Amino acid sequence: MKELAALEEKSEVRLRLFSYFGIALFLVVFLRLWYLQVMMGDDFAGISEQNRIKTVSIRAMRGNIYDRYGNTLVANRPSIAVTAVPAIVLKNENEMIILSDLLDIPFDEIKGKLEKGLVHPLDGIILKNSIDDETAAKIADRKVNLPGVIIEPEIFRFYPNGSLAAHILGYIGPISDEQLADPKMSGKYVSGDVIGKSGLEMYYESYLRGQPGYYTIEVNPAGYPIRNIDKVDSIPGNNIHTTLDLDMQRYVEERLAIGIEDIRGKIDEKTKEPFKATGGAAVVLDATNGEILAMASYPSYDPSLFVEGISQKNWDMLNDPENNYPLNNRVIMPYAPASTFKVVTLLTSLMYGIIDETGVVICRGVWDGLGKGYEKYCWNRVGHGAVDVLRSLEQSCDIFYYTMGLEIYRKRGEEGEILQKVARMLGFGTPTGVDLPFESSGRVPDLKWKKKFNKQNSQNALWYAGDTVNIAIGQGDLLATPLQVAELYLQIANRGEKFQPHFLSWIESYDGKVVKYYEPVMNRPVDIDVNLFETEVKGLARVTVNGTAMEAFAGFPLDQHPVAAKTGTSEVLGKQNFSWIASFSPVQEPKYVVVVMVEEGGSGGGVAAKIARQIYDYLYKINL
Amino acid sequence: MIMTEEISAQAIPAKRRFAYDFYTLVTVILLSLYGCLIIYSATGFGNIALAVDPSYFLRRQLIFFLTGMIIFVILSFFDYSKIKRYWIPLYLFNIVILIFVLFLGQSIRSSTSWLGWGIFKLQPSEFAKIWIILSYAAFLSERKGQISTFKDFLYSILHFGVPIFLIILQPDLGTASVYIGILLGMMFVAGVRFLFIGLAALLGGLSIFIVVRFGFIKDYIVKRFMVFLNPNIDPFGAGYNLAQSKIAIGSGQIYGKGLFLGTQTNLNYIPEHHTDFVFSVIGEELGLVGAMILIALYVVLVWRCFFVARRSRDLFGAYICVGVASLLICQSFVNIGMTIGLMPITGIPLPFISAGGSSLISFLIAFGLVESVYVRNRRNIPY
């Protein structure tokens, strides 16, 4: 039969070669299949499952925040959002045109948003929040033309009182990439989750957030769910009950704002320019337990700007120096405490026997304790004459405290840095531990600090008498937050007993079970004699009657509601004076501690004392 | 030893013994039925039905199969050698049809390769593969089955070049590449010098470069090719098909997820999974075993083609078999290769398996002709 074949010998050989080639090709296919199905099979099986099964997290409703009487400070509101699946919608230009038309968003903006979302192409991107029913209906009507577009309810943070207590509540925003990278967060959060960025929202994030649930769904490649496989419900976050008093908060914020805005027009005697009054802070504590009843910082902002994602324009506005940084909570930022610190100097002097309750210093308006050529002056250039311990507080006589400061400095050989030691005992230099993030610890300068701070400049790395003298009147490098000052006066009011300032009252679960009560933190510095505090209280009580705050408290029924106070006027290089007052009332068995600070607002007896007086008017329901 | 054209099948007196290659018959039936089963799985079980009636594609395919089998049987008893003398009109007819398609055809997936009205639609380029095998086999047989001169080589290039050019215009690069495969296979057996092929490859490469460089080829084709070279560049665009197909096949592992149980395919992750990407259904649902059964059936057919070619007593018949073998090897490799990332993605059907009448029937015609060659040449030879 071979003889009958038509193909030549040469072609026969080639035919054979060709068949080998064919077999080789099939072998290549086999080897590739072996690689894909046998070697990589498990991997691909896993991918195939992931492909098919998608977990969609269900965000938990964030907990509410209430004031002490149960008034709502922060809650949630539902809103209808339009979301689009980038992988589908981006392919369809016509669809984007329809969406642009229906939602009134420029075409390019829609495209840009979706392209940004292509990292997770099957997860919906919110195109627009809070659409009205009419738009929702229009979109539903055109559903056929809009594959990959979903209308769904979203829940947003809601502030029924507007910007009230904005600094305390804080704002929320999408979790940042840095936070996501943090191993502590990454397991619990996914990209796009909302997280507290400041204030109580941030401090109590873990309580407020709740437990997200999830759907396990089978999806088709377009991202459409085909059927639900599993659902785990989310658990709403816990509600926070705070110590704040909504009405008082509103009042304090108002008075602070009005007080600051009023003084802005007035001329500063010292600089002969109108007061800049760039900002201020006020805080009201319950003296008996450290509860914060009101805390105001000026200027303020509207936290609802952040709810649906803050616009660049608004963000720039909030960070523009022209606007004096409204996001800052000035109550927990460091300032020179000025004369409000004199109580610490006096306490130190009494404790270490530098002066006793009968001691007197003569004030002639000028003091040369540091030597000729280094004269220092009292704020009252005329001089106060003979100044005893109580009068030193009443008149806030600087010469008295320079003298104390110098004596304290001289004792450093045998006793060490006693002024700093006492200041720290009373809470300076460490955060108060209030339940807010970003609290400053202030600064208590000492030799060690100075050495470190002036590493490059050995001349300044020494501790001079003048340093102690400056601290003695609350100036120099000493820094304290208004809240630390409030804490100091709370201790004086309680004759040494200290309560941590706090907002938390209790935390309850969404269904009303108490999760946690506030645990009081109370202590007293063991080294300080109660009687020394009594002496100070006596002096402070005279400040509103005859002293530096007399003018501000004119007409106030001090006989019924005695107020102990200390004003302060801090000098800041290149700026106008900062105005301070720290106070408590009543003098016996105090109920309230009030601290007010106004940046570049003049002397303490002026604007700060005036605002404090108005707050007491409110607290005692006078002239209202 | 050297049998010439003049001795045709008819010249030898017939013996009464009935000869039929049952290997080929049984294998094409098995392959076609395998195809029907897979098409049913691909179209009847998805959550997104491709047709209202889940058995729509199955019934269509069965009708194509029966039609094709009737043609197969008729052809197998038909004397193929009668076609030879008409090869020039056949060739010209083929060219005219392809031109017709270009101007009157319907576009499906940006490629104009369909011709027809209403429900009666054909893809002439599928059948054109058979016609060109026939005309080129006739061409070769007129040259004693050898391409020895450069002139013959140029004629061969021209013979295929015109239809390839028309098909590229559709544009259908997959089919064009199969044509090149057929040409190379047949020329190779016809003893072409490798120098010629090397020269042609150089020229071809250069012309491809020019065509791509100056934008004569549609963007999506270039993109597909880029994706083939680097599948990760665009996993949700052009690389999507390939990525999903590999996932489907890989996840089938050795024994598959079970017939009708493929999640990738049933959830419609793979587009065209009943046509061009049908191999991914086999890979996913029936695993390596199912894929190897398919390949084994192809190997049987290729073996039969070569078997029949070697025993054919006329060169026309021998080269028909060589051409059909080339077609089967090339088309199955290009198709399977694209689903597993060995070849760029092109739109050509998997022989005997992909849904669609033109493809299945044209392959049944091709093997009907191989059977005819067997029958004509076997009849007289005692075992």
Share of chain A above pLDDT 90, in %: 59
- The whole-number pLDDT of residue A186 equals 65
- Is residue A602 within 8 A of residue A576, CB to CB? The reply is yes
What are residue B86's phi and psi, to 5 degrees? Answer: -100, 20
Residue A68's pLDDT band, with cuts at 50, 70 and 90, is very high
For chain A, domains (ranges, CATH) are: 246-302+310-619 (3.40.710.10)
Contact (CB<8Å) A29/B317:
no
Strand partners, A56: A215
Reported as a single tens digit per residue, the pLDDT across A329-388 is: 999 999 999 999 999 999 999 999 999 989 999 999 999 989 888 899 999 899 999 999
- The whole-number pLDDT of residue B233 equals 54
Q: Is the confidence at residue B217, as pLDDT, over 70?
A: no
- Rounded Cα gap, residues B154 and B149, in angstroms: 9
Within 10 A of B301 (CB to CB), how many other CB atoms are there?
A: 25
Residue of B nearest to A218 (CA): B267
- The whole-number pLDDT of residue B118 equals 46
Joined together, the tokens standing for residue B130 give: 């058979």
Angle value at C-alpha A59, between A55 and A65, nearest 5 degrees:
165
- Rounded Cα gap, residues A425 and A402, in angstroms: 22
Nearest to A18 among B144, B189, B267 (CB): B189
The DSSP string of B329-341 is: HHHHHHHHHHHTT
Q: Is the confidence at residue B238, as pLDDT, over 60?
A: no
Reported as a single tens digit per residue, the pLDDT across A453-512 is: 888 887 788 899 999 999 999 999 999 999 999 999 999 999 999 999 999 999 999 998
CA A217 to chain B, closest CA, distance in angstroms equals: 13
Beta strands in chain B (DSSP E): 106-108, 111-117, 120-122
Joined together, the tokens standing for residue B81 give: 């050698």
Chain A residue numbers touching B377 (CB-CB < 8 A): 4
- The whole-number pLDDT of residue A1 equals 38
Element (H, E) at A504: strand A504-508
3-state secondary structure of B326: helix
Chain B residue numbers touching A7 (CB-CB < 8 A): 145, 189, 309-310, 312, 315, 318
Residue B237's pLDDT band, with cuts at 50, 70 and 90, is low
Reported as a single tens digit per residue, the pLDDT across A530-558 is: 999 999 999 999 999 999 999 999 999 99
Chain B residue numbers touching A8 (CB-CB < 8 A): 2, 144-146, 191
Give the best-scoring range by mean pLDDT among A14-23, B217-226, B370-379: A14-23
Alpha helices per DSSP H over A416-569: 418-425, 447-453, 465-472, 482-493, 530-543
Contacts A–B by Cβ distance under 8 A: 166
- The whole-number pLDDT of residue A18 equals 92
- The whole-number pLDDT of residue A3 equals 45
Contact (CB<8Å) A22/B315:
no
Specify the higher pLDDT residue, A308 or A26.
A26
- The whole-number pLDDT of residue B115 equals 60
Nearest to B191 among A14, A44, A219 (CB): A14
Q: Is the confidence at residue A225, as pLDDT, over 80?
A: no
Within 10 A of B42 (CB to CB), how many other CB atoms are there?
A: 31
Reported as a single tens digit per residue, the pLDDT across A506-519 is: 999 999 899 999 98
Chain B residue numbers touching A1 (CB-CB < 8 A): 311, 381
Reported as a single tens digit per residue, the pLDDT across B320-329 is: 999 999 999 9
- Rounded Cα gap, residues A435 and A242, in angstroms: 10
Nearest to B264 among A14, A17, A51 (CB): A51
Mean pLDDT estimate for chain A: 89
Per-residue DSSP letter, A2: G
Reported as a single tens digit per residue, the pLDDT across B101-132 is: 887 766 555 555 566 544 456 788 888 899 99
Contact (CB<8Å) A12/B310:
yes
CA B100 to chain A, closest CA, distance in angstroms equals: 33
- The whole-number pLDDT of residue B194 equals 86
Residue carrying structure tokens 């001795």: B7
Chain A residue numbers touching B340 (CB-CB < 8 A): 29, 32-33, 36
Specify the higher pLDDT residue, B12 or B141.
B141
The pLDDT of A143-165, averaged and rounded, is 85
CA A222 to chain B, closest CA, distance in angstroms equals: 8
Contact (CB<8Å) B253/A45:
yes
Range scoring the smallest mean pLDDT among A415-424, B42-51, B227-236, B305-314: B227-236
Residue of A nearest to B244 (CA): A48
Contact (CB<8Å) A37/B236:
no
Predicted structure pTM score: 0.64
Nearest to A221 among B268, B311, B325 (CB): B268
Which of A2, A3, A4, A27 has the most B C-beta neighbours within 10 Å, making it the best mutation to test the interface with B?
A4
Q: Is the confidence at residue B235, as pLDDT, over 70?
A: no
- Is residue A244 within 8 A of residue A503, CB to CB? The reply is yes
Strand partners, A101: none
Four-point Cα dihedral A610, A612, A617, A619, nearest 10 = 170
Give the best-scoring range by mean pLDDT among A86-90, B208-212, B248-252: B248-252
Q: Is the confidence at residue B51, as pLDDT, over 60?
A: no
Contact (CB<8Å) B253/A42:
yes
CA nearest neighbour of B162 among B197, B131, B198? B131
Nearest to B381 among A1, A22, A42 (CB): A1
Segments making up each domain of chain B, as ranges: 16-378
What are residue A604's phi and psi, to 5 degrees? Answer: -65, -35
Q: Is the confidence at residue B259, as pLDDT, over 50?
A: yes
- The whole-number pLDDT of residue B268 equals 66
- The whole-number pLDDT of residue A312 equals 86
CA A30 to chain B, closest CA, distance in angstroms equals: 7
Chain A residue numbers touching B310 (CB-CB < 8 A): 5, 7, 12, 15
Chain B residue numbers touching A18 (CB-CB < 8 A): 185, 188-189, 306, 322, 325-326
Contact (CB<8Å) A33/B249:
yes
3-state secondary structure of B311: helix
- The whole-number pLDDT of residue B3 equals 45
- Is residue A617 within 8 A of residue A557, CB to CB? The reply is no
Residue of B nearest to A86 (CA): B236
- The whole-number pLDDT of residue A222 equals 57
Give the best-scoring range by mean pLDDT among A147-151, A595-599, B148-152, B258-262: A595-599
Q: Hey, what amino acid is at B335?
A: N
Q: Is the confidence at residue B8, as pLDDT, over 50?
A: no
